[in-house]
Structure 1
């Protein structure tokens, strides 16, 4: 059976050599190229497209996430397997959205790496155990942005500008008591206890 043609991409040559040493004893894998930058990958693929490409996310000249999309669009038969230290859900989901066939952490055993290569070459997906656990964790719900009336938005903007209730009352032709009522309502809607917290949260919600 023809060995699985594998290309290695990592910006550290010691890592590349280590991967080569791990994979060379495997009869069903043939390492046919190594690259340290995105530019090298793009040049190498013009001459030869492997079956599986092990791709580090941290490259010096281009983000591996963006490069993954570029490669999978240009070479539909290429199976990209992320090999990285980045154990974060956002990276995993973005890599998969960009066409990666799997995601393996660099602390993987040689046996796991071999299995990952075999699985993605067969058209399946592969995730390290730690990555699978990460994907099963619930995504925090997006914060619910308070709904403000037009007048409350005006008052909030002026509070953020540092105006006092008296200044706001004069600017909006309202009574100071009315402004204080709006201020209390806004603070209640945001679930905060003071003006500083209100301004900070409003800025996070991009309301000011």
Structure 2
């Protein structure tokens, strides 16, 4: 286990110097944790991790130069043994789950207490998936999508939903399924109503979350 090492190499990636300074002060007297570096951009850290060993990184997913979610995935590819602990202001359940899907070992909000941060660091190093208290509460609450349930779709609606997600136009769907464009538009409107969304982008997003496409 990483937590059994004599010295744990830790890095901080956050574009707010005040956050970095606060974490540095918090970790200053932790003898088994050594801050290997602090970085205000994703590219700086990627360059660093290519040549240096990092056991755990505290990663803000809102960075000026990189998408934090993509960065999390890239870190795990470059250094599979590095634990990624997201430290963020974003409290949306979907973002938390996406971070985990991209390889994060845990997720904390920036209002977490110092004790929570230290606990989460040790749990992540011990191989656990870890969260601050507030994140645990967010995950435990069912999402609006889960409460709403999965809409019951006809076979034709499922076909059209798949074609819409493939980027096929109304005319293209009509040709492919031997339907009139008006019929396809009617099915499209019915899908929007069943999923309780206002546009195709939202329709596809919800359908993906529910595993329908």
Report the TM-score when normalising by structure 2. 0.70
Instruction: Work out which of the residue numbers 127, 130, 144 in structure 1 matches 2:151.
Output: 144
Matched with 1:25 is 29
Give the number of equivalent residue pairs. 171
Report the TM-score when normalising by structure 1. 0.71
Matched with 2:113 is 109
SS at match of 1:47: coil
Distance 1:2 1:201 in 2: 55
Distance 1:102 1:202 in 2: 33
Distance 1:37 1:52 in 2: 17
What residue ranges of structure 1 are gaps of 5+ in the alignment?
161-185, 192-199
Shift of 1:152: 8.5
Matched with 2:79 is 75
- 8 A contact 2:50–2:78 mirrored in 1: no
Distance 1:145 1:153 in 2: 23
Instruction: Work out which of the residue numbers 3, 7, 14 in structure 1 matches 2:11.
Output: 7
What residue ranges of structure 2 are gaps of 5+ in the alignment?
158-173, 205-213
Matched with 2:90 is 86
Instruction: Work out which of the residue numbers 47, 56, 63 in structure 1 matches 2:60.
Output: 56
Matched with 1:99 is 103
Q: Give 1 or 2 for the bigger CA radius of gyration.
A: 1
CA RMSD, aligned part only?
3.0
- 8 A contact 1:145–1:205 mirrored in 2: no
Matched with 1:168 is none
Distance 2:203 2:23 in 1: 45
